Structure 1
Amino acid sequence: MQLKGQIAYHGIAYVQGKASGPLVASNVELSFWGGIDPQTSEVIDRHHPLSGKYIQDAILAIPSGRGSCSGSGVLLELLLNGRGPKGLIFSRKEDILTLGVVVAEEIFNKSIPIVILGTDEFQDLQSATYVSINGNIVSKAQHKGVPKNFELVIENPLGTSLSRHVELSNEDKEFLEGLHGRAAQAAMRIILRMAAIEGANKLIHVTQVHIDGCVYTGPGSLNFAERLRDWGGKVLVPTSLNSISVDQKRWRSQGVTSTFGEAAEKLATAYTDMGGSPTFTCAPYLLSSAPKKGDQVAWAESNAVVYANSVLGARTMKYPDFLDICIALTGRAPHGGLHLKRNRLASLCVELPALQKEDIDDSFYPLLGYQIGGLAGNRIPVITGLDTARPSTDDLKAFGAAFATMASAPMFHIVGITPEAATLQDAIGERDSIESISLDLRHLETSWRTLNSAQDDSPVDLISLGNPHFSIAEMRKLANICRGRKKNDRVSMMVTCGRATHGLASQAGLVEELERFGVQFITDTCWCMIDEPLIPTYAKTIMTNSAKYAHYGPGLTGKKFYFGSLERCVTAACSGSYDKGIPEFIK
């Protein structure tokens, strides 16, 4: 469609509104958490094509989000502090970032338009300099400069009508009518808007919720939680809490500023006041309350969602921050996405050469997850060739966290390993075939070099372990590797883990043994939330065995990063230097 001086495209308006501005666009998905600074709007994902760009007052066009469920929280902060984009354009369904705008509109009366374009239209838009959004129509200028009829500020969003085609039970209607309090009413409104976007025609009961929204992204996240609590919000199903932004018991002694520490603690308290359990772990699958195969749950936190769906066989969508607490307050979730068996089937097959356990080390699984996540995008992959390698649950944890960092897909299958892929046919369903990719292990060198962003011979200053949180098995493995060795006094070594795991490790004598070696333990929080002074101010280079942290860390901390196996991390802790040799399994 061509208007005077413009080319216009019809899309689907997820959130109605009007906006105009310069276009910031990329064909690569972007995680707002760890990818955009909520205080400045700078793209800080140093591996992304938009790195260094600012999205404030721009129209941002990306295929979709990816990575962390906390992207909704970052977008809410940007909108509330005046640093946000004027509009968002995607080329496929996007829940996490849309939810950030829905919450801003429903709770804080602030909004920006969101439009989904077809793939061809989205590609054509990439060449634009300025664009405008009016409801479901996106227009681009045919020349440089701002067309005179562009409105450069958002005025009076058109609003979105509450979709009524979602079937409501009597209980749902009571929530919507406010009979169970204002918090539950607001929660139900948000759930129904997201259900309409998902295409769900009804809601279902869930047996438990894991909340990621307890991560402090700024005043907006705190204001949201305290508002729901003060409106009388109480969870109706068992609810665990993700890592928070500080070690609740130790943050003062760790030198965290009182302004940040107190705000983060207030946020955690708001969620526990509403009935959340203070588990404070990004690995809720390590808890005794972990769901079983077929359980309908509502989990947030990207690695936890992927693990729950893929390894446990529970059913959850990749719930954005803030939608998690809404579901906990009502016990109701949209009956769509991965809650339905048909949406859990693979659409991409990644074929690996048959591997034995002795062929690889533990850096293989995060590398592989990172590589396959980049290949998969929004497609659920099924991987063949790993059944003979027999990956452990910790291997699958590392794979899933790395996969979730790069992909927007909320699960994977591994033939012969994960519960819904006893055979390839189980994973793909009744289809005769799907797209297949043969992956040579030498292809992993690209991911290896990407994650080793420290290109020089910088000495190692800090060893970062536990992203996601360390398990008791990893504690034992670390103790075995460290036994009989001496850590370099110049190198700090830190492990993050959940309270429950720390308690088990303490009972087993592992905490005392590792502290003698020089390991510092941090509970409640995780590496994506940790900054100076907990990261020593002198530290210039960090080494980690986490592909997730090696990806996000440079942007979050401003430090250089090395990546390697747990054995290599301990060796670097003892020597103070990094072995730059490529693992044998890649050669």
Structure 2
Amino acid sequence: MPRSTFLTGRSLVAGAAQGALLFADVGLSFWGGVDCATGEVIDRHHPLSGEYLAGCVLAIPSGRGSCTGSSVLMELISNGHAPAALVLAEPDEILTLGVLVAQTIFERSLPVLCIGQEAFAALRGGAFARVENTAVSVFDQPPGDAWQAIDSLLQKDATRTAIELTEHDQALLDGELGKAAQVAMQIVLRMAQLQGARRLVDVTQAHIDGCIYTGPASLRFARQLVQWGAKVRVPTTLNSISVDQRRWRELGVDPALGEPASALGDAYMAMGAQLSYTCAPYLLDSAPKAGEQIVWAESNAVVYANSVLGARTLKYPDYLDICIALTGRAPLIGCHLDAQRKARLQIELPALDDLDDAFYPLLGYHIGALAGSRVPLVLGLEKRKPGLDDLKAFGAAFATTSAAPLFHIAGVTPEAIDPAQVLEAGTRIPVEKIRLQDLMISWRALNSARDPRVDVVSLGNPHFSLGEFAHLARLCRGRHKHPDVVLAITCGRAVLEQAREAGHIAVIEAFGATLVTDTCWCMLGEPVIPPTATTLMTNSGKYAHYAPGLVGRKVHFASLAECVDAACSATASGRLPAWLQPAAQLESPAHV
């Protein structure tokens, strides 16, 4: 008989399944990390890179990164490429929500079990696992018995809840305000129960990430809501969609993607959402104020809203965002509450000199990996005064490697102007001291390209701001890109018009740049990226991480000025920024 280990935990989604155990001690972002059509792990920085999830018991500490992970998991469940079960160390709302929506729309599911950090470590080295509701058995080889999963009833009854409901909540739940609002409230309450919320809170606005096309299931979900009469109850903006809705044919996008991706955007607008199509809603006039209770999805936007604006939102999964927009009610939990906004990790930085704009995305990327799901407080930038674009770049990269929805920077971000305000009185938190040599490791991770050639320069992940357009115009004035290099910038329609009125776009177009609206680099591929292109360059820590998996190209990561120089020469200089050069000098010659 094979040896086995029996572990118990909390069932997030009930069910029973078994399969080969696929274990990693690093969180996985399903969006950008898993191919939604095949189930292959495509995050080339992840230890499971190249593995296929179909039929396995996937054991990861948690998800991380993008809110669209819920959509990817729902897509995998609908097309038969999903894991047989998920075993987590920590509860993960994004992945769990994907399963719950698949239950609602497709009546298909998989068990999700959370067993805690200590028990999770015991899974290492196992070959086969069997999940049965609140328990997982781990074997060193397939057990070979005649075990069969017994179908569990899908947990769709949201009426049995200990959550305090207002008369309006109950009316939504009873279907008095329509089928779409009823189903939305059922999903909201299922998540509230899993999160441990006791009541709901009114939200003032929503930003919807579920408008990204991940496959037929994402469009079917939206169209089902429209058929049920869905209408948003709060002002609602839309994230980047998967194509430039006005120009996808001109850009050579295959109609097999262009048509359903555009139709998905139309479906959300039919629910009453605004035509914003930006992953940077904080750049719009409708950006929330400090203390405002909102529901935002899109990982970089969530982090910016909480950290830089001082608004209050969870890192809402795709589809829960629209459910809350349809009800106007969100679980009162997590970063909606003062206590959950406190720092749980202190980061201390080394002495720093001659910083450029590559520093902040690199630092965010590095700190995100250190923080995991903990809210960090960063010390050492009090005199540096990073600007809003620096914080935007930091937050996007932080959200790529972290599951936390919030960061604090002492003396910089609004809640940490006095850092004592984000520390819980009488509680000591762990301290991590970052060395320049540590940042060098992350620099090398983001610089995956070895060939100095540059075929494509990718800018605008997240979407470019007016300030970034002004900076780029200064760098481009009087110059022209190399004829063999594509330089493309993604941005929102509103910011593009502001930059055009300011005169920046004329300079940038004279340089030879391509402007793309509505979509973002996380959704762009060929032919915007030429099929012959092998190497990209970007100033985005987020895209430097995701691009090798998303588009199969190696990446040079550097400052905006270095990107413009490379666009002119078709070559990456390979220069280290001045602030990182001391780290290279500290290394032995064998490692330089």
Taking a change above 3 Å as real, the CA distance of residues 491 and 168 of structure 1, as seen in their structure-2 partners, is same
Contact 1:462–1:493 (CA<8 Å) still a contact in 2? yes
Q: Secondary structure at the match of 2:324?
A: helix
1:473 aligns with 2:467: yes
Task: Name the counterpart of 1:33.
Answer: 31
The normalised TM-score by structure 2 is 0.96
Equivalences for 1:202-351 in 2 at 5 Å? 202-351=199-348
Amino acid at match of 1:475: F
Taking a change above 3 Å as real, the CA distance of residues 4 and 478 of structure 1, as seen in their structure-2 partners, is closer
Deviation, 1:197, is 1.0
Task: Name the counterpart of 1:552.
Answer: 546
Contact 2:536–2:555 (CA<8 Å) still a contact in 1? yes
- Whole-Å separation in 2 of the counterparts to 1:76 and 1:480: 44
Deviation, 1:530, is 0.3
- Whole-Å separation in 2 of the counterparts to 1:167 and 1:105: 25
Deviation, 1:584, is 1.6
1:109 aligns with 2:115: no
- Whole-Å separation in 1 of the counterparts to 2:391 and 2:426: 26
Task: Name the counterpart of 2:9.
Answer: 11
Structure 1: give runs of 5+ residues left out of the alignment. none
- Whole-Å separation in 2 of the counterparts to 1:445 and 1:392: 23
Bigger Cα displacement from structure 2, 418-427 vs 407-416:
418-427
Equivalences for 1:523-534 in 2 at 5 Å? 523-534=517-528
Equivalences for 1:316-395 in 2 at 5 Å? 316-353=313-350, 355=352, 359-395=354-390
Contact 2:476–2:507 (CA<8 Å) still a contact in 1? no
Contact 1:354–1:388 (CA<8 Å) still a contact in 2? no
Contact 1:111–1:157 (CA<8 Å) still a contact in 2? no
Deviation, 1:99, is 0.1
Structure 2: give runs of 5+ residues left out of the alignment. 583-592
Q: Secondary structure at the match of 1:311?
A: helix
Contact 1:362–1:395 (CA<8 Å) still a contact in 2? yes
The CA deviation string for residues 454-507 of structure 1, in whole angstroms up to 9 with x for no partner, is: 1233x1001000000000000000000111222111111000000000010111
Task: Name the counterpart of 2:589.
Answer: none
Contact 2:107–2:154 (CA<8 Å) still a contact in 1? no
Task: Name the counterpart of 2:568.
Answer: 574
- Whole-Å separation in 1 of the counterparts to 2:325 and 2:195: 19
1:430 aligns with 2:425: yes
Task: Name the counterpart of 1:148.
Answer: 145
Deviation, 1:127, is 1.9
Amino acid at match of 1:421: A
Deviation, 1:157, is 2.8
- Whole-Å separation in 2 of the counterparts to 1:557 and 1:12: 37
Amino acid at match of 1:261: G
Contact 1:18–1:158 (CA<8 Å) still a contact in 2? no
Contact 1:20–1:150 (CA<8 Å) still a contact in 2? no
Task: Name the counterpart of 1:181.
Answer: 178
Contact 1:466–1:526 (CA<8 Å) still a contact in 2? yes
Q: Secondary structure at the match of 1:469?
A: coil
Identity across aligned pairs (percent)?
53
The equivalent position to 2:132 in structure 1, one of 110, 117, 134, is: 134
Amino acid at match of 1:407: S
The equivalent position to 2:443 in structure 1, one of 439, 448, 452, is: 448
- Whole-Å separation in 1 of the counterparts to 2:144 and 2:230: 47
Deviation, 1:435, is 1.2
Deviation, 1:4, is 9.2
Taking a change above 3 Å as real, the CA distance of residues 39 and 146 of structure 1, as seen in their structure-2 partners, is farther
Deviation, 1:259, is 1.7
1:543 aligns with 2:533: no
Q: Secondary structure at the match of 2:416?
A: coil
Deviation, 1:147, is 3.0
- Whole-Å separation in 2 of the counterparts to 1:366 and 1:413: 15
- Whole-Å separation in 2 of the counterparts to 1:90 and 1:557: 28
Q: Secondary structure at the match of 2:398?
A: helix
Q: Secondary structure at the match of 1:437?
A: strand
Equivalences for 1:82-101 in 2 at 5 Å? 82-101=80-99
- Whole-Å separation in 2 of the counterparts to 1:423 and 1:433: 17
Deviation, 1:441, is 2.5
Q: Secondary structure at the match of 2:490?
A: strand
Task: Name the counterpart of 1:69.
Answer: 67
Task: Name the counterpart of 1:585.
Answer: 579
- Whole-Å separation in 2 of the counterparts to 1:7 and 1:147: 16
The CA deviation string for residues 377-409 of structure 1, in whole angstroms up to 9 with x for no partner, is: 011000011121100000000000000000001
Q: Secondary structure at the match of 1:456?
A: coil
Taking a change above 3 Å as real, the CA distance of residues 155 and 513 of structure 1, as seen in their structure-2 partners, is farther
The CA deviation string for residues 539-567 of structure 1, in whole angstroms up to 9 with x for no partner, is: 11110000100000000001111100000
Deviation, 1:354, is 5.1
Q: Secondary structure at the match of 1:310?
A: helix
Equivalences for 1:156-171 in 2 at 5 Å? 156-160=151-155, 162=158, 163-171=160-168
Amino acid at match of 1:444: L
Contact 2:2–2:141 (CA<8 Å) still a contact in 1? no
- Whole-Å separation in 2 of the counterparts to 1:155 and 1:510: 63
Amino acid at match of 1:307: Y
Task: Name the counterpart of 1:519.
Answer: 513
- Whole-Å separation in 2 of the counterparts to 1:18 and 1:500: 49
Task: Name the counterpart of 2:392.
Answer: 397
The equivalent position to 1:461 in structure 2, one of 452, 455, 464, is: 455
Deviation, 1:188, is 0.4
Task: Name the counterpart of 1:412.
Answer: 407
- Whole-Å separation in 2 of the counterparts to 1:453 and 1:546: 14
1:562 aligns with 2:562: no
What RMSD in Å do the two structures reach over aligned CA positions?
1.3
- Whole-Å separation in 2 of the counterparts to 1:73 and 1:558: 22
- Whole-Å separation in 2 of the counterparts to 1:272 and 1:221: 15
Amino acid at match of 2:400: T
The normalised TM-score by structure 1 is 0.97
